[in-house]
Amino acid sequence: MKRLTLICLALGPLLTSAAERPKPLTVTVGQEFKISLPYNASTGYQWQFGKPPDQNLLKLLGTEYKRPESKLLGAGGDEIWTLKALAKGKTKLELHYVRPWEKGSPPAQQTNFVIVIKKPKAKAKAQDSAGP
């Protein structure tokens, strides 16, 4: 099974206070892929779905925190989201960076992805090595 990792390193164009155009991402049915987002647990903010994804198309397999390489107190790391494409289709993935207890407050950051899920390419039939 192929895995795809999408790492969001360039904060300027990818993460904004008001999400701009969604970033396209193409995967195949059955493929697991990762999205890495800058995250600092010491601030109280965390990434959450702005809207739940289409459960017929995507499944969240889990999240993990990758610690920063820096030894500085309060340095941020990355939150890595692992998702799986379930069926052919197209869906929008909307993520908000919020403090869960601040209900009604706009997200500090948000980002959007358009996930295009395609059928896997058919495998070529193996030719008989003995010949015709």
Break the chain into its structural domains and give their ranges. 3-118
What is the DSSP secondary-structure string of 49-94? ESS---TTTEEEEEEEEE--S--STT--EEEEEEEEE-SSEEEEEE
In whole angstroms, what is the distance from residue 20 CA to residue 78 CA?
Answer: 21
Q: How far is CA 52 from CA 27, 73, 80, 115, in A?
A: 19, 33, 17, 14
Contacts of 43 (CB under 8 A, 6+ apart): 76, 99
Residue that wins the pLDDT comparison between 6 and 72: 72
pLDDT at site 65: 80
- Summarised one tens digit per residue, pLDDT across range 76-125 is 788 999 999 999 999 999 999 999 999 989 999 999 999 999 998 877 55
Contact 87, 56 (CB under 8 A): yes
Q: What is the pLDDT of residues 41-63, one digit of tens each?
A: 888 899 999 998 899 999 999 99
HSE-CB of 16 using CA atoms within 13 angstroms: 10
| 3-118 CATH pick, 3.20.20.70, 2.60.40.2020, 1.10.10.60, 1.10.3720.10 | 2.60.40.2020
